[in-house]
Copies of this chain bind each other. A is one copy, B any other.
């Protein structure tokens, strides 16, 4: 039998009782004859409580110290889960990120995994133990504790699965799979039985929230099949693999949306050739993620540049731009907050060129003004006013027939 990596998020381990339930899910997998590695997040509201204390002390705590603080959350979970497994007679051992050999780059609060030294994990698996690893955290080569940023535990799980050549990585969560859209807001949203890495990647990047995009990327690169499934109910979830075998006839597979988008516009860039790369290199150096980018030529041979960022990155973005105003060479910056992004995703779009046009038409018919557009081979994103987000998502979900259950899916 192979190695299965299971990941349980914060809600799934939110209390001692929940942790005991997780232990039973782990034992079920182990009893199938598999070697099992379990990656866990901090218990429920722990991270919020820790952040709350830090914020009482200062509004902008040192990122290094935040990593020091937050990484305790998963450490609590791994020890409790290990105790729960030992208690039911399953030999187990816990490891922090640094003990598990998870090496990251030297960036605090949002580090990427650079290497996983698997010797320790492998040797304990060989002894028949379930190995419990703290998600979300790692260590730099110089021994500093780092965290992986939002959704970091997903990344830990998939990276370990890749490093150990696991058979599958199961992402246990409080939803029971990947949906065509968020069922809390969109009428008719349905669970998908399977979806491709690329589609999931677009959905994850677009704020679908069930899985972190970095984790999906890892899974795609190392061809690790994922299953997103419920930690409570014992039902099939959604498989994420190279080619989603079902529903190939659906051009659009999902509608994703996220709010708190801000559009920043840089005016009068005087070096159209170098200005563009300089700005985004500078922002990247500060780990500020830019999403949609629109460039427009003006008279006097200068360029205006708009891009979208997450609202919480606005202050730092404006600061960084101001600091480099001279070298970047622009006149001034404006921004507009209160925006949202709505996207349609589906591999079928590659062979269906009219999809973007259809999307714009549906939105126009419903009186929704598009502020920015971005497309890839398998998705189209538009930026709209925040208060039109749900409406836009709902009309797109219906127009592209995502609420109609396919026969293949039922007979699965």
**B87 touching A57, Cβ below 8 Å:** yes
23 pairs, CB–CB < 8 Å, chain A vs chain B: A16-B53, A19-B57, A20-B57, A53-B80, A54-B79, A54-B83, A57-B80, A58-B84, A58-B86, A58-B87, A61-B86, A62-B82, A65-B79, A65-B82, A65-B86, A65-B94, A68-B75, A68-B96, A69-B76, A71-B75, A72-B72, A72-B75, A72-B76
CA–CA, A69 to B94, complex, Å? 10
Cβ proximity bits A1-28 to B, threshold 8 Å, 1 near / 0 not: 0000000000000001001100000000
**B68 touching A78, Cβ below 8 Å:** yes
Q: Nearest residue in B to A69 (C-beta to C-beta)? A: B79
Q: Please give the distance in Å from A216's CB to the nearest CB on chain B.
A: 30
**A99 touching B143, Cβ below 8 Å:** yes
Select one of B16, B62, B86, B144 contacting A83, CB under 8 A.
B62
A68 partner residues in chain B, CB cutoff 8 A: 75, 78-79, 82, 94, 96
Task: Classify the secondary structure of A's interface with B.
Answer: helix
Select one of B57, B66, B80 contacting A69, CB under 8 A.
B80
Q: Nearest residue in B to A56 (C-beta to C-beta)? A: B16
Cβ proximity bits A312-329 to B, threshold 8 Å, 1 near / 0 not: 000000000000000000
CA–CA, A54 to B84, complex, Å? 9
**A83 touching B58, Cβ below 8 Å:** yes
CA–CA, A57 to B94, complex, Å? 16
> Closest 5 A-B residue pairs measured CB to CB?
A69-B79, A72-B72, A68-B79, A58-B87, A65-B79
A76 partner residues in chain B, CB cutoff 8 A: 50, 53, 69, 72
A84 partner residues in chain B, CB cutoff 8 A: 57-58
Chain A 93-108 residues near chain B, CB threshold 8 A: 93-94, 96, 99
A240 interface contact, C-beta 8 A: no
Known: A16-B53, A53-B16, A99-B143. A69 touches B58 (CB 8 A): no
A384 interface contact, C-beta 8 A: no
CA–CA, A66 to B65, complex, Å? 24
A393 interface contact, C-beta 8 A: no
Extra 13 A-B pairs, beta carbons < 8 Å, given A61-B86, A68-B75: A19-B57, A54-B79, A54-B80, A54-B83, A57-B80, A65-B82, A68-B79, A68-B82, A69-B75, A69-B76, A72-B72, A99-B143, A99-B145
Chain A 38-87 residues near chain B, CB threshold 8 A: 50, 53-54, 56-58, 61-62, 64-66, 68-69, 71-72, 75-76, 78-80, 82-84, 86-87
